[in-house]
Amino acid sequence: MEYQEKIAKFADIINSAENICVFTGAGISVPSGIPDFRSADGLYNQDSGFNIRPEEIISHTFFVRKTDMFYEFYKSKMVYPDATPNAAHIFFAELQNRGKNVSVVTQNIDGLHSAAGSKEVYEIHGSVLRNTCTNCGKHFGVETVMEQEGVPHCDCGGIIKPDVVLYEEPLDNVCVEGAINAIARADTMVIIGTSLVVYPAASYVRYFRGRNLVIINLEPTGMDDMASLAIYEDVEKVVNDLKSLI
């Protein structure tokens, strides 16, 4: 099927949908200037500066044992406070204004879906925008973390930790339950910018029992054979081409 045919089919799917779940990975935020994880230029292929693999640095053990090094990496590589929602974030948020029930399940920690206006967002890996004192539990925005030099501390002296799920840490059960319910009740699911290799998040797709599964990614995924439609293209191009047909 040619690209324009796929866009026309995607438009038909969106127009007929009532309950849409959008499942997103790092690829949707790349146009906003945030690197993904596994591409050639992604986070996991960048030099951490410490001769240590990024996956080790963003682990719970590393945070506890070498908090200063963790934050040096985290602030320079994982937080993009000036990033803004791109056309894809905005498109799916605006579908809410067209009578569609739209939920978002995201593996991203950048907060851009909420910033775009999406109302039902499940951030299964947490968010850099929320931060908590490990001593007294006081909450802080990302500004506090970025403005303090080195390891950020609370007024009580406790270390501030980002509400981001690090390696070795469990996912939030309430968030996971909400995400699974959103997927299960959807009649249409749109998967964007993820290779679907990060578990357990990728396994949630199996709860979808709706009519149409659409995958938008630069490269094929292991679930393409389950999809009604797979589009291998930049997501901003896809939504911009889609707008005139919706």
**Catalytic center residues:** 125
64: CB partners within 8 A, 6+ apart: none
Distance between CA atoms of residues 222 and 56, nearest Å: 26
Name residue 4's amino acid: Q
Contact between residue 108 and residue 123 where contact means Cβ atoms under 8 Å apart: yes
Distance between CA atoms of residues 161 and 64, nearest Å: 10
Angle at 46 between CA 41 and CA 51, to 5 degrees: 165
